[in-house]
Amino acid sequence: MESPFKSDVVKGKVALITGGGSGIGFEIASQFGKHGASIAIMGRRKQVLDDAVSSLRSLGIPAIGFEGDVRKQEDAKRVVESTYQHFGKIDILVNAAAGNFLVAAEDLSPNGFRTVLDIDAVGTFNMCHSALKYLKKGAPGRDLSSGGGSIINISATLHYTACWYQIHVSAAKAAIDATTRNLALEWGTDYDIRVNGIAPGPIGDTPGMSKLGPEEIETTTPREDMPLYKYGEKWDIAMAALYLSCVSGKYVNGQTMVVDGGCWLSKPRHLPKEAVKQFSRVVEKRSRAKPTSKL
């Protein structure tokens, strides 16, 4: 699908994207690149990174991949430094690396819980913490007039209510959203850095979707109670990331934008619409004719 943004909206910017080798992270990398940015992607799997970098370069996008695990502070630091060494500055950090699996809370070991918190929440903080010195206003390589950089943390909507078999991820995403708001407050005030999040809903054709809705259980059509009755596309998330990162988002700070077609609001319809049409007025009329006093 064609982008509604001008092709130069992030021209000259350097974006570092964790989990940028596949899924939503790769789509964000591609779209940022197509709109003028130079791209560094970070991931644990060399082959995935190499393939992603080749694919970006084949589109004429300046791109480089760095192996690393966001859970390790030393990796976060090394990849941030390498990105700066390679491109001379960093403007945008996207934290898209995540871990997930379905498991009932009673079957999840404390180490399993900790692992997902480490990847999602601690990993996000590690990256933000390491990148601060390059994102702040007046940082090395940054033009003073361009202000501070921007951070986008990929989250989810699971923790807005509760989610079956996702206690670890719900806890991790709640921590990410809190991190987004707190950094937006502290670093927005002190360093002119905007920190926002995106909470994707069910996005088709992603590693997350294939783990949470594997072929063993997945139906080919979305559920009937899902607003818009469709899955999202990686493109939807990338467009939200572009909006937040370029000038269109210049006054947006501390927000996690839900891009889920309204899915987190979905509830099974408890009455057919026709039934409501039929009896709503009748009930109203009756209640006016015979008001019941509860006092």
Q: Among 25, 99, 148, 232, which residue sits at the site for ligand COA (rule: CB under 6 A)?
A: 99
Q: Please report how close the Cβ of residue 84 comes to ligand COA at its closest, in angstroms.
A: 26
**112/227 with CB nearer ligand COA:** 112
- 204-233 binders of ligand COA (CB under 6 A): 207-208, 211
Nearest to 95 by CA among 70, 63, 66: 70
Asked if 100 touches ligand COA (CB under 6 A), the answer is yes
- 156-215 binders of ligand COA (CB under 6 A): 207-208, 211
**100/170 with CB nearer ligand COA:** 100
Nearest to 64 by CA among 95, 89, 87: 87
Q: Please report how close the Cβ of residue 91 comes to ligand COA at its closest, in angstroms.
A: 25
Beta-carbon contacts of residue 187 (< 8 Å; ≥ 6 apart): 132, 135, 136, 148, 193, 195
Asked if 21 touches ligand COA (CB under 6 A), the answer is no
Q: Please report how close the Cβ of residue 277 comes to ligand COA at its closest, in angstroms.
A: 41
Q: Are 35 and 48 in contact (CB under 8 A)?
A: no
Q: Please report how close the Cβ of residue 4 comes to ligand COA at its closest, in angstroms.
A: 27
Q: Identify the residue whose tokens are 């560094």.
A: 40
**116/152 with CB nearer ligand COA:** 116
Beta-carbon contacts of residue 168 (< 8 Å; ≥ 6 apart): 103, 108, 112, 113, 115, 116, 117
Nearest to 264 by CA among 166, 185, 123: 166
Q: Please report how close the Cβ of residue 146 comes to ligand COA at its closest, in angstroms.
A: 32
**59/105 with CB nearer ligand COA:** 105
Q: Among 3, 55, 73, 115, which residue sits at the site for ligand COA (rule: CB under 6 A)?
A: 115
Q: Are 196 and 244 in contact (CB under 8 A)?
A: yes
Total residues found in the chain within this entry: 295
Q: Please report how close the Cβ of residue 53 comes to ligand COA at its closest, in angstroms.
A: 19
If residue 234 lies in a helix (H) or strand (E), which one and from where to where? Answer: helix 234-245
Which own/partner pairs from 103-111 qualify as long-range (CB within 8 Å, at least 24 positions apart)?
A: 103/165, 103/168, 104/165, 105/165, 105/167, 108/167, 108/168
Q: Among 47, 109, 145, 293, which residue sits at the site for ligand COA (rule: CB under 6 A)?
A: 109
Q: Please report how close the Cβ of residue 240 comes to ligand COA at its closest, in angstroms.
A: 17
Q: Would you list the DSSP string of 67-90?
A: E--TT-HHHHHHHHHHHHHHHS--
**61/259 with CB nearer ligand COA:** 259
Q: Please report how close the Cβ of residue 205 comes to ligand COA at its closest, in angstroms.
A: 13
Q: Among 47, 58, 111, 292, which residue sits at the site for ligand COA (rule: CB under 6 A)?
A: 111
Give the binding site for ligand COA (CB under 6 A).
Answer: 98-101, 103, 108-109, 111-112, 115-116, 207-208, 211
